[in-house]
Amino acid sequence: MKPPRFTYHDPVARNETLALLDTYGDDAKVLAGGQSLMPLLNMRLAQPAHLVDINHLSDLAYIREQDGGLTIGALTRQRDVERSPLIRQRCPLLAEAIRLVGHPPIRSRGTVCGSLAHADPAAELPAVLLALGGYVRAESCAGVRTIPAAAFFLDQLLTALTPKELLTEAWFPTAPPRSGAAFIEISRRHGDYALAGVAAQITLSADGSVVAANLALIGVGVTPVRASAAETLLIGERPGEAIFTAAGRQASANLDPFTDIHASAAYRRYVAGVLVSRALTIAAERAAGPLTAEATH
Amino acid sequence: MQQEKRLVCVRVNGVVCKAQVETRRLLSDLLRHDLQLTGTHVGCEHGVCGACTVIFNGAPVRSCLMLAVQAHGGELLTVEGLASPDGTLHPLQQAFHDYHGLQCGFCTPGFLMAIYAFLQDNPQPDVSDEAIRVAIAGNLCRCTGYQGIVEAVRHVITQGVAR
């Protein structure tokens, strides 16, 4: 199980990279962290004629405050996001999700943008981008465009990126004051692909009622799923078991999950509803109390 | 089509090593075949089992998921670099021995490097069963059932000797 032959490119500048993608785009794959692409190469499930290794583009490794949120550059490692006080303070949902991505050795090399571009239906980070309404920036020789999360994840392992485009950064909005976040998932072992998972953020008004709710589910479809109907149910309500259970049921009702060797559709649908209720409970507790990134469960 | 070859220069366990390899050569194969450091093992070759875990520029990585050329100019610590030059076992290795943390030993180098990195990154970790099992969740063992491994890790944490 060794990679097939390919022509290896390791550009040192962004314009060089875009030129390579412009020339070879349809026959090329971008290599950043490699934690998803290398397994595919090693098993020869992917056999690109050209590999464009972007690991020399160190100017793409950054976490910056911008436009009421944080932009994360293409080469920012998941490990650095995990350790970032800025992320913990401004984007607690991302901080919650990142510690569930694979295992520490995966996070040492894996990148946030790579996870978004790969678009595995069980991946945590796409759900965070979708739940919060973030966007990505795609660059090519033809120019730059921003793609909102809702338009980015098209199908299993398929995004709106064209073969000539490089995903250069992702933007996540800052959590408003009085927000709390939680990411919980079911997997057979810690770090395994989630059978079902929920990204949840609750924002409370001064009087303690829900003024904003962000909910996305993983493992229940070919892309992450925004639970908009469940979110709507929560607005104006006071946090409580009954309303969170109702939100869980609403989220479940709109799902059309798949059956595979790991779990049945019925199981995924049921578990998703339970996880929604639990995640909302934890998120609301955190919104009401002091913000902390440490898991209490 | 001939795969391009490049010179890869890395410092492994403090020693500068060079090899001319195909650009598709995996880091795990550079270590094992080009540098004859066969302590790093290859189990699944797709990032799931953890047997190939090494420390690259201070952080744990799956060496089967890196190309050798990506390590050029970097610093590696492998299992061969844990014991002292005089052969004294690293406290982690001694604990695995004392607490039966291995049987066939195939997964052991990966566990040692992953735990080494975990202790570097978490100087005062929780010693509960659950916390330790989360810490080792990225490594698979077919022989031991993990209990001896958990005991070995707990011993090293509570003795504070793994630095």
Asked if the structure places residue A295 within a domain, the reply is no
- A297 lies in a domain? no
Q: Are residues A89 and A44 in the same domain?
A: no
**pLDDT tens string B13-28:** 999 999 999 999 999 9
What one-letter code names the amino acid at B25?
R
Total number of domains constituting chain A:
3
Same domain, A185 and A276: yes
The CATH number linked to A104 is 3.30.465.10
Q: What is the reported pLDDT for A292?
A: 44
For the stretch A19-74, pLDDT in tens is: 999 999 999 999 999 999 999 999 999 999 999 999 999 999 999 999 999 999 99
CA–CA gap between residue A100 and residue A121 (Å, rounded):
15
pLDDT band at A290 (very low <50, low <70, confident <90, very high): low
Contact B61 A108 (CB under 8 A): yes
Interchain CB distance below 8 Å, A38 and B59:
no
Cβ–Cβ gap B60/A35 under 8 Å: no
Q: Beta strands of chain B (E only): which ranges?
A: 5-12, 15-22, 53-56, 59-62, 75-77
Same domain, A155 and A195: no
Residue A17 above 90 pLDDT?
Answer: yes
Q: Are residues A169 and A184 in the same domain?
A: no
Domain boundary among A120, A141, A173: A173
* Residue from A3, A52, A110, A49 nearest B28 by CA: A3
- Using pLDDT thresholds of 50, 70 and 90, give the confidence band for residue A188: confident
Question: Are residue A209 and residue A279 in the same domain, yes or no?
Answer: yes
In a domain, A293, yes or no: no
Residue A209 binned pLDDT confidence (cut-offs 50, 70, 90): very high
- One domain, residues A49 and A68: no
CB contact under 8 A, A106 and B47: yes
Q: Are A206 and A223 in contact (CB under 8 A)?
A: no
- The answer on A68 and A129 residing in a single domain is yes
For chains A and B, CB pairs below 8 A equal 92
CB contact under 8 A, A190 and B137: yes
Whether B137 and A1 lie within 8 Å, measured CB to CB:
no
In this structure, the answer to whether residues A34 and A81 fall within a common structural domain is no
Task: Tell me the residue range of the domain where A17 lies.
Answer: 7-53
pLDDT higher than 80, residue A285:
yes
Is residue A230 in a domain?
yes
Task: Kindly tell me if the per-residue pLDDT of B161 is higher than 70.
Answer: no
Which residue, among A103, A118, A188, A297, would best test binding to B if mutated, counting the most B CBs under 10 Å from its CB? A103
A2 found inside a domain: no
Domain co-membership, A129 together with A145:
yes
Q: Which residues of B touch A (CB under 8 A)?
A: 1, 3-4, 23-24, 26, 29, 45-47, 50, 53, 56, 59-62, 64-67, 69-70, 114, 117-118, 121, 133-134, 137-138
Kindly report whether the global pTM for this prediction surpasses the value 0.90: yes
The answer to the question of residue A71 being in a domain is: yes
Question: In this complex, is the C-beta atom of A109 within 8 Å of any C-beta atom belonging to chain B?
Answer: yes
A111 and A201 housed in the same domain: no
Angle at B41 between CA B39 and CA B44, to 5 degrees: 175
A145, A173, A201 - which closes a domain? A173
Mean per-residue pLDDT, A247-265 = 93
Residues A47 and A71 both lie in one domain: no
Please state the φ and ψ torsions of residue A276, each to the nearest 5 degrees: -60, -50
**Domains of chain B by start residue, with CATH:** 5-81 (3.10.20.30), 91-159 (1.10.150.120)
User: Residue B51 — very low, low, confident or very high, per pLDDT cuts 50/70/90?
Assistant: very high
Nearest to A74 by CA among A171, A186, A207, A197: A171
DSSP assignment letter at B63: G
Specify the CATH number for the domain of residue A16: 3.30.43.10
Are residues A38 and B64, on separate chains, in Cβ contact within 8 Å? Answer: yes
Residues of chain B in contact with residue A38, where contact means CB-CB under 8 angstroms, are: 46-47, 64-67
Contact present, B60 and A107 (Cβ < 8 Å) = no
In this prediction, residue B123 has a pLDDT band, given cuts at 50, 70 and 90, of confident
Per the CB < 8 A criterion, the answer to whether A74 and A113 are in contact is yes
| Alpha carbon distance A253, A241 (integer Å) | 18
Q: Are the beta carbons of B3 and A108 separated by less than 8 Å?
A: no
Whether residues A265 and A195 share a domain: the answer is yes
In CATH, what number is assigned to the domain containing residue A264? Answer: 3.30.390.50
Report pLDDT digits (tens) over A226-245: 999 999 999 999 999 999 99
